[in-house]
Amino acid sequence: MLDRLGEVMQGLVLVAGEGTRLRPLTFTTPKPLIPVMGKPLVEYILEGLKESGITNICLVIGYLGNLFKTVLGDGSRIGVELSYVVQCERLGIAHAIHRAIEDCVIREEFVVHLGDNYFEEGISRFVKRFQEGDYDVFIVLTRYRDPRRFGYVLLQDGKVVRLIEKPIEPPPGGYTLTGLYMFRDPDLVEKAFRELKPSQRGEYEITDLIQWFIDKGYNVGYDITNGWWKDTGTPDDMLELVNMMLDKIETRTDGEVRGKIIGRVIVEKDAIIDGEVYGPAYIGEGAYIDKKAKIEHYVDVEANCEITSGQISRSLILPEARIETNNARIIDSIIGRKAEIKLNTGQYKIISGDFTIIYNY
């Protein structure tokens, strides 16, 4: 049954947002295209859908949308078939889903995955439960330290009874709604959408869409993720994702190590390490770590970066950045693509955009 249904089930990945809380990084790169450990976050999502048997996938694009087409193309490199729908105005998740159905791209049962979400355990278990169950809608829940940031779900006697969007005072005992939703009938979703009204913030909320199904007596199922879940809305969230992904790596050395690595470190091909790297850490393809540089724990150095001196800890260094910090130390930072950082002494936390130049001698 799973194989048969998996052939027709479609995927919908929502990547139209502007990622305002991640500025200045997102002035030039959409959040889902920011690389972590060698590939854009959205590519992990596409691979997860593929592992679940879903290869017909639509991306709803908007802000800097052409960059997704440039990076991902038709999806053949990943082994999926990609199509694109434009959401000109960011009017909420429910509206993005509506746009894909309105353009007749989504015609079968489908799974929606937010383009900035990551599930430690993957999504295959949830897709299988939906496909093998008699659900009209299926959602995935988790516990989160600050439930006011997301949709909030109340259960009663093993059933979903109420969803609240970003509650100011969450009732006790509820769960956070993650960015993974499944729907059986696109026509029914469209019927629900036509009855929705924008929220106070002017968006068509996914919580209101799902609540419509509950109120109409449809079968809304749920599961609770066994692993961690991450929404990468802010720089701290992005760094936390890097840390948690690095925690799971195993040592692999495809580049050249002439210096010293201690702990679990991935060294991609054509990377050269003359300095010191302390894992967990990731050194991307073609990156260079000079003998005067020290990469400390929980650092992701992306492709073709050059670190000529100084210390870096708990940071994400995006492709082709150049860092020369002498006796200075960079911590808890995200350095943009092709940025140039030159420091002398002290300790710095930096969130820089692409092509940034920072000199402090």
User: What pLDDT is recorded for position 309?
Assistant: 94
Greater confidence, 171 or 35? 35
User: What pLDDT is recorded for position 152?
Assistant: 84
Residues whose CB is less than 8 angstroms from the CB of residue 187 and which lie 6 or more positions away in sequence, other chains included: none
Pairing of strands 315-317, 159-165: unpaired
- What are the residues facing 162 on neighbouring strands? 154
Q: For the structural domain made of 251-360, what CATH number should be given?
A: 2.160.10.10
User: What pLDDT is recorded for position 13?
Assistant: 97
Q: Using H for helix, E for strand and C for coil, what is the string for 267-333?
A: ECCCCEECCEEECCEEECCCCEECCCEEECCCEEECCCCEEEEEEEECEEECCCCEEEEEEEEEECC
Q: Judge whether residue 69 has pLDDT over 60.
A: yes
Of 326, 90, 261, give the one whose Cα is nearest residue 271.
261
Q: Judge whether residue 361 has pLDDT over 80.
A: no
Ranked by mean pLDDT, the top range of 14-28, 38-52, 97-111 is 38-52
Residue showing tokens 């495809």 = 254
Mean pLDDT of the chain: 91
How far apart are the C-alpha atoms of 305 and 341, rounded to whole Å?
A: 12
User: What pLDDT is recorded for position 150?
Assistant: 78
Least confident of 28-32, 253-257, 271-275: 28-32
User: What pLDDT is recorded for position 2?
Assistant: 40
Residue showing tokens 């879903």 = 54
Indicate the domain borders of the chain: 2-245, 251-360
How far apart are the C-alpha atoms of 339 and 356, rounded to whole Å?
A: 5
DSSP assignment, residue 122? -
Of 37, 78, 84, give the one whose Cα is nearest residue 55.
78
Please write the tens of the pLDDT for every residue from 143-186. 888 878 878 889 888 888 898 888 888 888 889 999 999 999 99
Greater confidence, 46 or 25? 46
Fold of 2-245: Spore Coat Polysaccharide Biosynthesis Protein SpsA; Chain A (3.90.550)
User: What pLDDT is recorded for position 48?
Assistant: 95
Please write the tens of the pLDDT for every residue from 305-345. 999 999 999 999 999 999 999 999 999 999 999 999 999 88
Q: Judge whether residue 299 has pLDDT over 70.
A: yes
Greater confidence, 109 or 4? 109
How far apart are the C-alpha atoms of 109 and 97, rounded to whole Å?
A: 12
Q: Judge whether residue 6 has pLDDT over 70.
A: no
The confidence band for 248, taking pLDDT boundaries of 50, 70 and 90, is very high
Q: Judge whether residue 1 has pLDDT over 60.
A: no
On whether the CB atoms of residues 60 and 11 are closer than 8 A, the answer is no
Q: For 65-80, what is the mean pLDDT?
A: 93
User: What pLDDT is recorded for position 7?
Assistant: 47
How far apart are the C-alpha atoms of 138 and 161, rounded to whole Å?
A: 13
Of 10, 1, 14, 7, give the one whose Cα is nearest residue 184.
10
What is the number of alpha carbons within 13 Å of residue 41 lying toward its C-beta? 28
User: What pLDDT is recorded for position 4?
Assistant: 39
Please write the tens of the pLDDT for every residue from 263-282. 999 999 999 999 999 999 99
